[in-house]
Amino acid sequence: MPDCEQLTGVVRKLALYLRRNPEACDTTEGIAQWWFDGVQFQRQELAQALAILERVGLVESMRALDGHVLYRRSRADEEIEMDAKLDRLIRSDTGSSTQ
């Protein structure tokens, strides 16, 4: 099981990427390859980080026609509110705001 500090780092990196790239959408493999710019982490950490972001409403998953699961920033009614949530997550020192 990943440690809390590493998981928090993955959550924050995902939040930062989605803040900067609001139209991004990819599979876990694509996210690991393209969104993290060479940062090493365990795939289990990515899965847990995506689950946390999905649970708090910042990320949504959808199944593509080919069966792959894609993840993207949630389509909120209020874009400014979503940006503020992502900004708070990026700035947080702990993952407490994600739980």
Q: Domains in the chain, ordered, with CATH?
A: 4-88 (1.10.10.10)
* 44/16 Cα distance (integer angstroms): 19
Amino acid at position 38, single letter: G
Q: What is the pLDDT of residues 11-24, one digit of tens each?
A: 999 999 999 999 99
Q: What is the pLDDT of residues 51-98, one digit of tens each?
A: 999 999 899 999 999 999 999 998 765 676 778 888 888 888 654 444
* 92/48 Cα distance (integer angstroms): 18
* 7/44 Cα distance (integer angstroms): 9
Helix (H) or strand (E) holding 99: none
Phi, psi of 72 (to 5 degrees): -150, 165
